[in-house]
Amino acid sequence: MLIKRLFDLVASAAGLLVLAPVFAVIAIVIKRESAGPVFFRQERVGLHGRTFRIHKFRTMVTSGEGRGPLITVGADRRITRSGAFLRKYKLDELAQLIDVFIGSMSLVGPRPEVPKYVALYPAGIRETVLSVRPGITDLASIEYRDENALLGQSQDPERTYIEEVMPAKLRYCVEYVHGRSLWLDLRIIYRTVVAVLS
Protein backbone atom coordinates (compact mmCIF):
# COMPACT_ATOMS: atom_id res chain seq x y z
CA MET A 1 0.00 0.00 0.00
CA LEU A 2 1.49 3.29 -1.15
CA ILE A 3 -0.19 5.29 1.64
CA LYS A 4 1.19 2.93 4.29
CA ARG A 5 4.73 3.17 2.87
CA LEU A 6 4.50 6.97 2.71
CA PHE A 7 3.27 7.06 6.30
CA ASP A 8 6.13 4.78 7.39
CA LEU A 9 8.70 6.89 5.57
CA VAL A 10 7.53 10.21 7.00
CA ALA A 11 6.99 8.87 10.52
CA SER A 12 10.33 7.04 10.68
CA ALA A 13 12.24 10.05 9.35
CA ALA A 14 10.56 12.31 11.91
CA GLY A 15 11.18 9.76 14.64
CA LEU A 16 14.87 9.44 13.80
CA LEU A 17 15.29 13.23 13.87
CA VAL A 18 13.35 13.82 17.10
CA LEU A 19 14.87 10.84 18.91
CA ALA A 20 18.47 11.50 17.81
CA PRO A 21 19.43 12.83 21.29
CA VAL A 22 17.82 9.76 22.92
CA PHE A 23 19.71 7.48 20.55
CA ALA A 24 22.96 9.24 21.48
CA VAL A 25 22.34 8.76 25.22
CA ILE A 26 21.46 5.08 24.71
CA ALA A 27 24.62 4.56 22.65
CA ILE A 28 26.81 6.14 25.36
CA VAL A 29 25.24 4.03 28.11
CA ILE A 30 25.68 0.81 26.11
CA LYS A 31 29.35 1.56 25.32
CA ARG A 32 30.15 2.55 28.91
CA GLU A 33 28.73 -0.64 30.37
CA SER A 34 30.20 -3.22 28.03
CA ALA A 35 32.58 -3.47 25.12
CA GLY A 36 31.13 -4.06 21.68
CA PRO A 37 28.92 -2.42 19.06
CA VAL A 38 25.97 -0.19 19.89
CA PHE A 39 23.67 -2.08 17.55
CA PHE A 40 22.77 -5.75 17.59
CA ARG A 41 22.22 -7.09 14.07
CA GLN A 42 20.45 -10.38 13.38
CA GLU A 43 19.09 -12.06 10.27
CA ARG A 44 15.29 -12.01 10.12
CA VAL A 45 12.77 -13.02 7.47
CA GLY A 46 10.89 -10.16 5.85
CA LEU A 47 8.53 -9.40 2.98
CA HIS A 48 8.02 -12.36 0.60
CA GLY A 49 10.57 -14.41 2.54
CA ARG A 50 13.52 -12.13 1.83
CA THR A 51 16.00 -11.98 4.70
CA PHE A 52 17.41 -8.76 6.15
CA ARG A 53 19.51 -7.77 9.14
CA ILE A 54 17.39 -6.10 11.80
CA HIS A 55 18.67 -3.22 13.97
CA LYS A 56 18.30 -3.27 17.75
CA PHE A 57 20.21 -1.47 20.45
CA ARG A 58 22.48 -4.11 21.98
CA THR A 59 21.12 -5.37 25.31
CA MET A 60 23.39 -8.38 25.80
CA VAL A 61 27.07 -8.88 26.38
CA THR A 62 29.06 -9.19 23.16
CA SER A 63 28.47 -12.55 21.45
CA GLY A 64 25.66 -13.23 23.90
CA GLU A 65 23.52 -14.74 21.16
CA GLY A 66 26.05 -17.53 20.67
CA ARG A 67 26.00 -18.42 24.36
CA GLY A 68 22.37 -19.43 24.65
CA PRO A 69 19.01 -19.90 22.91
CA LEU A 70 17.64 -17.57 20.23
CA ILE A 71 14.83 -16.57 22.58
CA THR A 72 15.46 -14.71 25.82
CA VAL A 73 13.98 -16.28 28.92
CA GLY A 74 13.23 -14.64 32.26
CA ALA A 75 16.28 -13.11 33.94
CA ASP A 76 18.67 -14.06 31.13
CA ARG A 77 22.26 -13.74 32.38
CA ARG A 78 23.43 -12.51 28.99
CA ILE A 79 21.42 -9.28 29.37
CA THR A 80 23.31 -6.28 30.71
CA ARG A 81 21.93 -3.98 33.42
CA SER A 82 21.22 -1.20 30.93
CA GLY A 83 19.91 -3.84 28.51
CA ALA A 84 17.27 -4.92 31.02
CA PHE A 85 16.06 -1.33 31.26
CA LEU A 86 16.01 -0.90 27.47
CA ARG A 87 14.05 -4.12 27.07
CA LYS A 88 11.57 -3.29 29.81
CA TYR A 89 10.55 -0.06 28.08
CA LYS A 90 11.08 -1.42 24.54
CA LEU A 91 13.72 1.23 23.88
CA ASP A 92 15.98 -1.30 22.16
CA GLU A 93 13.31 -1.60 19.44
CA LEU A 94 13.53 2.11 18.56
CA ALA A 95 16.59 1.35 16.43
CA GLN A 96 14.23 -0.40 14.00
CA LEU A 97 13.12 3.03 12.81
CA ILE A 98 16.23 2.69 10.63
CA ASP A 99 14.79 -0.48 9.08
CA VAL A 100 11.44 1.24 8.54
CA PHE A 101 13.11 4.20 6.85
CA ILE A 102 15.08 2.03 4.42
CA GLY A 103 12.02 -0.12 3.66
CA SER A 104 12.90 -3.46 5.27
CA MET A 105 10.18 -3.00 7.88
CA SER A 106 7.01 -1.09 8.63
CA LEU A 107 5.93 0.64 11.83
CA VAL A 108 3.12 -1.92 12.19
CA GLY A 109 3.17 -5.48 10.91
CA PRO A 110 3.91 -9.05 12.01
CA ARG A 111 7.11 -9.16 14.04
CA PRO A 112 9.97 -10.56 11.92
CA GLU A 113 11.27 -13.94 13.06
CA VAL A 114 14.58 -15.73 12.59
CA PRO A 115 14.69 -18.27 9.72
CA LYS A 116 14.73 -21.20 12.16
CA TYR A 117 11.25 -20.41 13.46
CA VAL A 118 9.78 -19.21 10.16
CA ALA A 119 10.62 -22.66 8.74
CA LEU A 120 8.16 -24.09 11.29
CA TYR A 121 5.21 -21.94 10.15
CA PRO A 122 2.41 -23.91 8.44
CA ALA A 123 2.69 -23.24 4.69
CA GLY A 124 -0.55 -21.27 4.27
CA ILE A 125 0.09 -19.14 7.34
CA ARG A 126 3.69 -18.48 6.30
CA GLU A 127 2.54 -17.20 2.91
CA THR A 128 0.00 -14.89 4.55
CA VAL A 129 2.32 -13.50 7.23
CA LEU A 130 5.17 -12.87 4.78
CA SER A 131 2.86 -11.12 2.30
CA VAL A 132 3.33 -7.83 4.19
CA ARG A 133 6.35 -5.99 5.57
CA PRO A 134 7.22 -7.02 9.13
CA GLY A 135 6.71 -4.35 11.76
CA ILE A 136 8.13 -2.88 14.94
CA THR A 137 4.86 -3.61 16.69
CA ASP A 138 1.69 -5.60 16.10
CA LEU A 139 -1.25 -7.12 17.93
CA ALA A 140 0.83 -10.09 19.09
CA SER A 141 3.52 -7.82 20.54
CA ILE A 142 0.91 -6.07 22.66
CA GLU A 143 -0.75 -9.25 23.90
CA TYR A 144 2.56 -11.00 24.58
CA ARG A 145 4.61 -8.05 25.87
CA ASP A 146 5.58 -10.15 28.94
CA GLU A 147 6.62 -13.12 26.82
CA ASN A 148 10.09 -13.43 28.38
CA ALA A 149 8.65 -13.74 31.89
CA LEU A 150 6.11 -16.29 30.65
CA LEU A 151 8.78 -18.45 29.04
CA GLY A 152 10.93 -18.13 32.15
CA GLN A 153 8.31 -20.18 34.03
CA SER A 154 8.56 -23.07 31.57
CA GLN A 155 10.67 -26.19 32.04
CA ASP A 156 11.39 -26.14 28.29
CA PRO A 157 11.10 -22.51 27.11
CA GLU A 158 11.85 -23.16 23.45
CA ARG A 159 9.31 -25.96 23.22
CA THR A 160 6.72 -23.74 24.93
CA TYR A 161 7.50 -20.97 22.47
CA ILE A 162 7.19 -23.22 19.42
CA GLU A 163 4.11 -25.18 20.54
CA GLU A 164 2.13 -22.53 22.43
CA VAL A 165 3.33 -18.95 22.04
CA MET A 166 4.24 -18.93 18.35
CA PRO A 167 0.92 -20.40 17.10
CA ALA A 168 -1.03 -17.88 19.20
CA LYS A 169 1.06 -15.00 17.87
CA LEU A 170 0.62 -16.23 14.31
CA ARG A 171 -3.17 -16.09 14.74
CA TYR A 172 -2.85 -12.41 15.61
CA CYS A 173 -0.58 -11.90 12.60
CA VAL A 174 -3.08 -13.48 10.21
CA GLU A 175 -5.87 -11.40 11.76
CA TYR A 176 -3.83 -8.25 11.13
CA VAL A 177 -3.00 -9.12 7.51
CA HIS A 178 -6.66 -9.77 6.65
CA GLY A 179 -7.92 -6.59 8.33
CA ARG A 180 -5.02 -4.21 7.85
CA SER A 181 -5.67 -0.53 7.27
CA LEU A 182 -4.08 2.78 8.19
CA TRP A 183 -6.71 3.24 10.90
CA LEU A 184 -5.83 -0.16 12.41
CA ASP A 185 -2.13 0.76 12.31
CA LEU A 186 -2.82 3.98 14.22
CA ARG A 187 -4.84 2.06 16.82
CA ILE A 188 -2.04 -0.48 17.28
CA ILE A 189 0.58 2.28 17.64
CA TYR A 190 -1.60 3.96 20.27
CA ARG A 191 -2.13 0.68 22.17
CA THR A 192 1.61 -0.02 22.02
CA VAL A 193 2.49 3.35 23.56
CA VAL A 194 -0.12 2.86 26.30
CA ALA A 195 1.12 -0.69 27.02
CA VAL A 196 4.75 0.43 27.31
CA LEU A 197 3.95 3.42 29.54
CA SER A 198 1.71 1.36 31.81
How far, in Å, CA of 187 to CA of 172, rounded? 15
pLDDT digits (tens, 9 = 90+) for 132-176: 999 999 999 999 887 877 787 888 889 999 999 999 999 999 999
Q: Has residue 70 got a pLDDT over 90?
A: no
Kindly report the backbone phi and psi dihedral angles of residue 181, in degrees, each rounded to the nearest multiple of 5, phi listed first.
-165, 165
| Residue 146 C-alpha from the chain's centroid | 13
Contact present, 63 and 35 (Cβ < 8 Å)? no
Kindly report the backbone phi and psi dihedral angles of residue 52, in degrees, each rounded to the nearest multiple of 5, phi listed first.
-150, 165
The share of the chain scoring above pLDDT 70, in percent, equals 93
The more confident residue out of 65 and 175 is: 175
The more confident residue out of 71 and 13 is: 13
What is the CA angle 67-169-152, rounded to 5? Answer: 40
Buried b (16+ CB within 10 A) or exposed e, 3-34: ebeebbeebbeebbeeeeeebeebbebbeeee
The verdict on pTM exceeding 0.85 is yes
pLDDT digits (tens, 9 = 90+) for 107-119: 999 999 999 999 9
pLDDT bucket at 2, cuts 50 / 70 / 90:
confident
